[in-house]
Amino acid sequence: MIFAQLSDLHILPRGQLAYGVVDTATMLAEAIEHLAGLPFAVDFVLATGDLVDHGSAEEYEHLRALLGALRVPCFLAIGNHDGREALRSAFASDGALVLYPDVSAVPPSGTLSETSSVPVSVAAGAGTAPSRAPVSIRAAGLEDSGYLQYMVEAQGLRILVLDTVVPGEGGGALCVDRLRWLEAQLAQDEMPTVIAMHHPPFATGIAHMDAISLKGADDFEQLVARFPQVRRIVCGHLHRPIQADVAGTTALTAPSVAHQIVLHLGHQCAAPGVFPRGSDCFVMEPPGYLLHWWDGRRLTTHQCVIGSYPGPFPFRTD
């Protein structure tokens, strides 16, 4: 099973650019096109927050239209740029935040999920993906009010989606209630588990981003350390691919499918909110996403760069 992790989409109302510079809608469309061109099937997409830029209903309507080009389910996590109730209103369905593909838009050869009756394993370009058995996806747990937390199960792997948002703040938090929910899910059984959330539970060395990091990270780490079935902690927020050891497992952040944060390490803030000149900026480095391959025993993560590049070229010419 393979699932793609997209992050930090920052979609705005139609025709608007992020910071007056970044055409996030076009860049998301290009990310989806890149996924569609892969020579293998992707079973679903997980988007780890900052789905839109200001949390408005208009932005979520635009996001739905753009994600409609996907031919696999797309599960969503909330980020600090998102609006909790607007996001719930736009995407809450069947116990999750999810957009299922339009069945009528999928070629007849697409396989069907056993539980949702939606096409899966058809994200690759038409005719390029090898046929394989359908993937059964089950989602549950999202409540009608409160935090946006739920679980997804597929092929013996469980994904627990957490809500780290503090309304009105750039940083996030995992309070007692949210951690209690996580503990209850992990205590159910020993199924291999991925935890997905927007804010990473580790410092990155990028001072202005660490200033808006995750409160409750120590409590989170102590909790997760009790459950060795946690195979990965996947996050967004940083607009860069970063990995760290957390609670005996690997925690990581995905690159943005749009703009990236400038890599500026090793500097402390001169004062609260005062950062080294040029560090508190973004850059139009190549966008990307992550692919997570679950073989039933081990989870392996690959970074993908979006764009068109020369090649492929053979290593041998004989």
Two tokens at 288? Answer: 């990307």
- Contact by Cβ (8 Å): 122, 110: yes
In this structure, how many other beta carbons lie within 10 angstroms of the beta carbon of residue 76?
Answer: 29
Answer yes or no: is pLDDT of 122 > 50: no
Residues composing the chain: 318
Burial environment of residue 307 by CB neighbours within 10 A (0 to 12, 13 to 18, 19 or more):
exposed
Answer yes or no: is pLDDT of 188 > 90: yes
**C-alpha triplet 1, 147, 203: angle, nearest 5°:** 70
Q: How far apart are the first and last CA of the chain?
A: 35
Query: Which of 24, 101, 97 lies closest to 59, judged by CA?
Result: 24
**Residues 29-57 pLDDT 10s:** 999 999 999 999 999 999 999 999 999 99
Answer yes or no: is pLDDT of 92 > 90: yes
pLDDT grade for 110, boundaries at 50, 70 and 90? very low
Chain centroid to Cα 253, Å, comes to: 9
* Mean pLDDT for the stretch of residues 284-297: 97
* Mean pLDDT for the stretch of residues 236-253: 98
Q: Where are the alpha helices (DSSP H) in 133-259?
A: 176-186, 207-210, 217-224
Give residue for tokens 């080009």. 69
Two tokens at 119? Answer: 């096409």
Cα–Cα distance for residue pair 42/21, rounded to 1 Å: 31
Answer yes or no: is pLDDT of 198 > 90: yes
| Cross-strand pairs, 75 | 46, 98
Query: Structural domains in the chain?
Result: 2-305 (3.60.21.10)
Interacting residues of 41 by C-beta distance below 8 A, sequence separation 6+: 2, 121, 122, 123, 124, 129, 130, 132
- Please tell me the predicted confidence (pLDDT) of residue 272: 54
pLDDT grade for 280, boundaries at 50, 70 and 90? confident
- Please tell me the predicted confidence (pLDDT) of residue 116: 36
Cα–Cα distance for residue pair 287/24, rounded to 1 Å: 11
- Contact by Cβ (8 Å): 81, 59: no
pLDDT grade for 102, boundaries at 50, 70 and 90? confident
268 vs 302: which has the higher pLDDT? 302
Q: How far lies 78's CA from each of 8, 88, 250, in Å?
A: 10, 10, 21
Answer yes or no: is pLDDT of 132 > 80: no
**C-alpha triplet 134, 194, 242: angle, nearest 5°:** 115
Answer yes or no: is pLDDT of 271 > 70: no
* Mean pLDDT for the stretch of residues 198-202: 98
Answer yes or no: is pLDDT of 104 > 50: yes
